[in-house]
Structures are given as structure tokens and as C-alpha cells.
Amino acid sequence: MPHWLLKTEPSEYSYDDLERDGSTLWNGISNALAQKHLRTFQLGDRAFLYHTGKEKAIVGIVEVTGPPEADSDAENDKAVAVRVKAVKRLPRPVILAEIKADPAFAEWELVKQARLSVMPCPATLWKKVVSLSKGA
């Protein structure tokens, strides 16, 4: 089961908002590579939610609750959106600085390609982030 990372600007839509809503349609993704990733999402896949802007931290885990569907808001009629639900907040946020400080993450798009908003998260990195979130 693949894992992912979704970015969001918390002043626009935060993990708090998702917890309040229960689930939301993750739409408005226009970048071609991000769309390519989004199209391969499957029911039950899990993703980290990352807050950009002031926070720059992975804050929680979400789960895909349906297959990719047409993003009816998008100008591009091939664009897809995916419904996700909140699973759990991480015990503590894992900030970008500590991710960058660890060479294990050096090849991850989160570090290498700052502007990509939907990306895969290799299983080893997933475990590492979860483990970091349990630390001090």
C-alpha cells in the first residue's frame, strides 16, 4: 500500500479543519506531476498532511476514502480530486528543519522539490517520520 504526502497552507485549509469536517475532497491540484500522483491514489492509502507557510511541519495522517474522481472545479477537465479523512494527528509535528537535517530524507521531493504539493512517501521514510513524531 503506497504512502503519500499532501501539502496544504494551514490558513487555507488545515488539519484542524479536516478534523472538524471529518473528510474533505482534496481538490484544486493543478500541477501536472501532482495530478499524476493523485490519479494513482487508491482507497485506503494513507498520506501525511504537511503544513506550509509559517509552520513547515508534518502534522497528521489522512486516509483516502474513495478512488480519484473528476475535479469539477478545475479548468482542466482531466483533473482529479480525492476524498480523504482525518486519521490522527501526529504526537508532535515533525518540522521541515529536522527532516532536512537527516540525510535519510535528502532525496525526498519534500526536500528536493519544494513546490510539489502531492508526492509519494517511501515506506522507510514514512516509518522514520512516525518514529520522529514519537520522540522528544
Give the separation between CA 130 and CA 132, rounded to whole angstroms: 5
53 class by beta-carbon count within 10 Å (0-12 exposed, 13-18 middle, 19+ buried): exposed
Residue 42 lies near DNA (rule: CB under 7 A): no
**Strands 3-8 and 46-51, how do they pair?**
parallel
30 binds DNA (CB under 7 A): yes
Residue 73 interacts with DNA (CB under 7 A)?
Answer: no
Instruction: Tell me which stretch binds DNA (CB under 7 A): 13-21, 79-87, 113-121, 122-130.
Output: 113-121
The secondary element (H helix, E strand) that includes residue 120 is strand 118-120
Q: How many residues bind DNA (CB under 7 A)?
A: 17
Question: Quick one: which segment of 24-32, 40-48, 65-73, 81-89 binds DNA (CB under 7 A)?
Answer: 24-32
CA dist., res. 39 & res. 67, Å (int): 8
The answer to whether residue 53 forms part of the interface with DNA (CB under 7 A) is: yes
Rounded to a whole number of angstroms, the distance between the first and last alpha carbons of the chain is: 29
Residue 7 sits in the site that holds DNA (CB under 7 A): yes
- What does the binding site for DNA look like in residue numbers (CB under 7 A)? 7, 9, 30-33, 52-53, 56, 96-97, 100, 112-115, 117
